[in-house]
Amino acid sequence: MRPSSPAPRTWFITGASRGLGRALAVAALERGDRVVAASRTATVDAFDPALRERVLALPLDVTDRDAVCAGVEAAVERLGGFDVVVNNAGTLSMGMVEEFTEGEARAQLEANFFGALWVTQAVLPHLRRQGSGHLLQVSSIAALAGFASTGLYSASKFALEGLSEAVASEAASFGVKVTIVQPGGYWTDLYSSMTSTTPLDAYGPLRAELERQWAEGSVDSDPRLAADAMLTLVDSDDPPLRLLLGSMVYDLAHDVSRRRADDWAAWEEVSRAAEHAVDAPAVAAG
């Protein structure tokens, strides 16, 4: 599955200044690859001096489509192309769905969905022309199911996964691979930098119960473990469409799938009764 000595690659990683993005950038650099480290606060100073000569720091706001297109073009002109593109940049906004303002809801989708869309659109022409490349879309455990207080975050990641499945089908004939990466919990600043809605009193008991559950059942790991898994992923000659990262998310994925299958089976008769082929309706004369 994994070549013994993969050739050096060129990576384009968004959100590369901190958290999972930085861990992945460092892991790639340490094995001799080149990295375009794209983020709002991009600087080579975020990396060890011994690694900086293979880093191209690219200040970039992924929600700005024009800036994304210009940044990708500049990086391609400088480095010639990309072997791996990682849509990692994102934010977390917590709150019950009813509590979100329009501005808060749009901001969550802008960062997590539209930002990844703009990068995907900007890099695909180059990956198509070179006939190769691997696009990694960093999703989340929150895309396995919607959870109380993460509804808009889940919505952004569900949207990203639907988009990515379509891209995988569209790009396959050009030799471009796509993998949706679904991480569980890692010790990054996603939580410390998250925003929250103004809470409604009605959800106080639910919010307290959620806090209790998180305190008792949260599992968070070193992001370097996720980075190492993604290195293994890109080294594979036959990468999967989806890769779960962590035992918690792995077990949850199977549990959610079983519960959905049980619901489908229980309502099979109703589902099948809702389909019966008929002739096309006649078009009324104008």
Q: What is the DSSP letter of 178?
A: E
- Helix 65-79 × helix 115-130 angle, to 10°: 30
DSSP 8-state code for residue 114: I
Which of 93, 140, 149, 153 is catalytic? The answer is 153
Q: State the helix-helix crossing angle for 151-171 and 102-109, rounded to 10 degrees.
A: 30
Q: Residue 28's CB: how many other CB atoms inside 10 A?
A: 27
Record the tokens describing residue 202, joined without a space.
């009605």
- Site of tokens 């901190």: 18
**Annotated active-site residue in 139, 140, 154, 164:** 139
| Measured CA distances, 212 to 88, 218, 221 (Å) | 29, 10, 20
Q: 87 phi and psi, to 5 degrees?
A: -85, 95
157 part of the active site: yes
The reply to whether 153 belongs to the active site is yes
Distance, CA of 130 to CA of 104 (rounded, Å): 39
CA count, 13 A, side-chain hemisphere, 275 = 4
Q: Which of 93, 157, 164, 177 is catalytic?
A: 157
Q: Give the residue numbers marked as catalytic.
A: 139, 153, 157
